[in-house]
Structure 1
Amino acid sequence: MGYFSRVRGLLQFICILLLVSNCHGLLQRRKARRSFKTSVIKSESVRSDLLSQCTLYWRNATLNHFSFVKYKGVDKAFKQRYYVCSNYWKAPTSTSGPGPIFFYAGNEADVLLYLNNTGLMWENAPSQGAMLVFAEHRYYGQSRPFAPWPKSGLKPYQLDYLSTEQAMFDYVELVDEIKKEFRAEQAAVIAFGGSYGGMLAAWMRMKYPHVIDGAIAASAPIWNFFGETPTYDTGSFAQGVTYDASMEAGSSRNCVYNVRAFWSTLSRLAQTPEGCALINQNLNLCPDSTVSSPSDAEAVRDWIADAWDNMAMGNFPYASGYILNGDGQLPPFPIHEACRSMATDVPSDMDLLQGMAGAIGVYYNHSHLTPCFDYKAGVNDETDAVDMLWDFQWCSELFMPSSTDGVNDMFWPAPFDAAAAAADCRASWQVSPRPLHAQREWGGRRIEAASNIVFTNGLLDPWHGGGGLTVPVGA
């Protein structure tokens, strides 16, 4: 069998298995900035049976692949982490070529999170004789340029090398190094990725087809940008979250209605001191994190909506710590669990407040050890660290608009304000978004020249609205 026939056969085999899979993403909407931390997964959350099959490697990664000039005070390289798991790999012999390389294009978290949760790679490695490689995305996990990082965080110029293009070229060099080290120059390389990692996998196949022979892009919202034709529906993410909370998706009958009613109740109560007291008591807010004004209530609103967004992204049918970056665990179908607290038929103000406290507790009190809620804090340090770095990427090159309307979703009317978002990005990072950058760089929906890319989307995943749900004309 020829090389390209082997690649096509391998992708077809994996596609059959994908028909019964449902992959959700980690990619997050833009959030408020919090203190700067590092995004390292807790070691006790990693499956030892998987990790024991892998070898940890470090490489000297080039900081700036696209400049030949060394700037004063800027190092040329940084230490990048990756894992090679070769137990099942079919090494080349005198009579047969090597087995394929399954390459996980790491996204915005510690690489061990993906080693621990990318079951499709592990499940297919034995039958395909595949080597597994899990690469860590620059700046995330322990692959940190300019390390050690100060508590105050990196300066904007130090974050200038945090981009998809730089990360992808890291992976191009890594594939080349691995092939040489293992004498696997003829091995087919299949890139895997979920959410942002799925975007990277697909884009690598498009941009570096001589390096990546095929890609499995799960929950990859590559069309979640300005400039698409037809236009991307900015409300699709919120509609996806709402679907997860609906009866059609298995949630309680009144959940969507009651969640939608909660926002106006919160806003109305925040107008008076008595109403603020009801909010603080029934939402179980901590004494140093109380609501005393309408602006406080807006901050609480956004913090609560963040819980629903993340529970929808982690709405797996089994218990999982994936969406918590390995620090804790959500129950099976966390949205269903949250909706049980929002099931009252004719709720009073107190019912809505207490019900919402129970609902967001599925996420913010996943440990069942949180005595009260601090709406000024995230769910854990690991997730805060990811959010911080992702915020820079969102502000610079991955300007992904989202909106809510309170009619087709269970939130409140909030059209996307690109000008306000850009102003906030300048204030936060001293960068201005380039709204059309992704569409111009990667081609938007005009990817008919690409090949050997499998896009998979679970309809319970709210990112599917920006994913590859249809085959481009001419593909």
Structure 2
Amino acid sequence: MATPFHAAVLLILLFISATTSSAYKAQHHVRSSIKAHRFLGKFSQSHNKPSGPNIQQYEYETRYFEQQLDHFSFAKLPSFRQRYLINTKHWAGPSRSGPIFFYCGNEGDIEWFAANTGFVWELAPQFGAMVIFPEHRYYGESMPYGSRDIAYKNASTLSYLTSEQALADFAILITELKRNLSAQASPVVLFGGSYGGMLAAWMRLKYPHIAIGALASSAPILQFEDIVPPETFYDIVSNGFKRESKSCFNTIKESWNAIASKGQENNGLHELTKTFHFCRKLESTNDLSDWLESAYSYLAMTNYPYPTDFLMPLPANPIKELCRRIDSCPDGTSIFQRIFEGVTVYYNYTGTVDCFNIDDDPHGMSGWDWQACTEMVMPFASKNGTSMFPVYEYNYTADEEYCLQAFNVKPRPMWISTEFGGHDFKNALRTFGSNIIFSNGLLDPWSGGSVLEDVSETIVALVTEKGKTSCPL
């Protein structure tokens, strides 16, 4: 029989999931999917403090915890300081077994996630909960070896950037905090969205004695190997645009060949550079295509019915606004100018940018690039007819060549499903898992790689047909 606290936790998770749901980078033929991997790692290069009119400031204390660099060996290696944010203002305390709300930090600065995870903060006072936001190793200020430059130097220093090590960080942090606070009886509830949602679900499976349950929002734990069709992500993005305007969808679909043809003309790259207001001349049309694909995909992930600064300053219903701009261009407007007018909704909605830097990672080697080149091998593809994106098949060889060149490593496409499961996931979750809620809105392109059906009485899928459940929670 469920205890009153278990019932309370279930109500918390149900409320958060329901509210979140309702609130709401191409060559032709062959292309590496590493660029697409960066969609999930959209926070990896965020170094700035969260700011903007829509950013809520929550109260917390910043602390640091000394972590082992390698939890799975006894080699003498340097430790590092893991940053975490904590709020105990409303905590009921150990004598009353006050719960702990623990957000599984994603691939970026933890202060940014704390500022965009409002429901955890808002519900904590009602349940007397402590709130903890730990930072993922190798992101934000939680850098091994003392600096980002050294930590990201090569495959040897990056080798400890894995999801397994990150989960062990979380488990040890929770255990030590509870011990220091004499709060061993305080139950822990995990939260997370996107990659953080994957970590929340995996941590509940790997460390069931550490946390009693997890809310995994927009968590594509099945976006590996051949578990879901590789074209799923781009199909969902495309449907979001087609739903708003078929003419807008067709304009975008036709633009890729037009861009490739223009790039073959004398002075074509110069003209495209000028039309799209880039700060320096395009080196290839592939760079432009990747830039556009990123914008469309990010818009699908942040297509909220209210203004937000989540990734960029955006209006309410940004896909609708992009399509309105494309469709309302006067007759005779070139397809390039139409596309530019539309994509500025993402890249320059405030109108303050004079020119665009097409490479948002000028120094290369972001943390998520490494993760995508090692264990986070997510196949992507785009099919003719269903997708507005250029047609290409998933090509592991292209990924391998990229990763060998970038990091001198080969991806392990079967490791995640070996470590955490994936094939026959329903039977595995039903047999070995419990107390996980997978929250998804079907407008979110990551929903296609998540769990969309109830697996058991305690592994529940909350799905909103017209909902968006990408971060923020």
**TM-score by structure 1 length?**
0.85
> Aligned ranges for residues 12-161 of structure 1 at < 5 Å?
12-22=11-21, 29-30=36-37, 39-42=46-49, 44-45=51-52, 50-51=57-58, 53-70=59-76, 74-75=77-78, 77-93=79-95, 97-150=96-149, 153-161=152-160
1:320 aligns with 2:308: yes
The alignment of Structure 1 onto Structure 2 pairs a total of residues equal to 440
- C-alpha displacement at 1:458, in angstroms? 1.4
3-state secondary structure, aligned to 2:205: helix
> Which of the numbers 297, 322, 340 marks the counterpart of 2:285?
297
C-alpha distance in 1, partners of 2:365/2:240?
23
Residue aligning to 1:341: 325
Query: 2:270–2:281: 8 Å Cα contact kept in structure 1?
Result: no
Residue aligning to 2:27: none
Residues 298 and 407 of structure 1: is their aligned pair in 2 closer, same or farther, counting only changes over 3 Å?
A: same
- C-alpha displacement at 1:122, in angstroms? 1.5
> Which of the numbers 361, 364, 369 marks the counterpart of 2:352?
369
Query: 1:58–1:79: 8 Å Cα contact kept in structure 2?
Result: yes
> Which of the numbers 316, 321, 342 marks the counterpart of 1:332?
316
- C-alpha displacement at 1:163, in angstroms? 0.3
Residue aligning to 1:309: 297
Residue aligning to 1:176: 175
> Aligned ranges for residues 140-219 of structure 1 at < 5 Å?
140-150=139-149, 153-219=152-218
Give CA-to-partner distance per residue, 1:123-150, whole Å, 9 cap, x none.
Answer: 2112211111001000111100112233
Residue aligning to 1:272: 265
C-alpha distance in 2, partners of 1:281/1:416?
32
3-state secondary structure, aligned to 2:366: helix
1:422 aligns with 2:400: yes
Residue aligning to 2:468: none
Give CA-to-partner distance per residue, 1:367-424, whole Å, 9 cap, x none.
Answer: 422222332x22xx7xx78981101001101101111123211111111101111111
> Which of the numbers 217, 229, 235 marks the counterpart of 2:231?
235
- C-alpha displacement at 1:363, in angstroms? 2.2
> Which of the numbers 419, 427, 447 marks the counterpart of 2:429?
447
> Which of the numbers 371, 390, 415 marks the counterpart of 1:437?
415
Query: 1:227–1:439: 8 Å Cα contact kept in structure 2?
Result: no
- C-alpha displacement at 1:314, in angstroms? 1.8
Residues 197 and 461 of structure 1: is their aligned pair in 2 closer, same or farther, counting only changes over 3 Å?
A: same
Q: What percentage of residue pairs aligned between the two structures are identical?
A: 33
AA partner of residue 395 (structure 1): C
C-alpha distance in 1, partners of 2:151/2:97?
47
Give CA-to-partner distance per residue, 1:140-179, whole Å, 9 cap, x none.
Answer: 1110011223399422110000000000000001101221
3-state secondary structure, aligned to 2:146: coil
AA partner of residue 316 (structure 1): Y
3-state secondary structure, aligned to 2:62: strand
> Could you list the runs of 5+ residues in structure 2 that have no partner in the other structure?
25-33, 460-473
C-alpha distance in 1, partners of 2:399/2:448?
21
1:356 aligns with 2:358: no
3-state secondary structure, aligned to 1:336: helix
Residue aligning to 1:413: 391
C-alpha distance in 1, partners of 2:285/2:419?
40
Residues 234 and 12 of structure 1: is their aligned pair in 2 closer, same or farther, counting only changes over 3 Å?
A: same
C-alpha distance in 2, partners of 1:186/1:22?
32
3-state secondary structure, aligned to 2:148: coil
Give CA-to-partner distance per residue, 1:55-81, whole Å, 9 cap, x none.
Answer: 1111111110001012xxx52x10110
C-alpha distance in 2, partners of 1:130/1:28?
39
Residue aligning to 2:454: 471
- C-alpha displacement at 1:253, in angstroms? 4.4
AA partner of residue 198 (structure 1): G
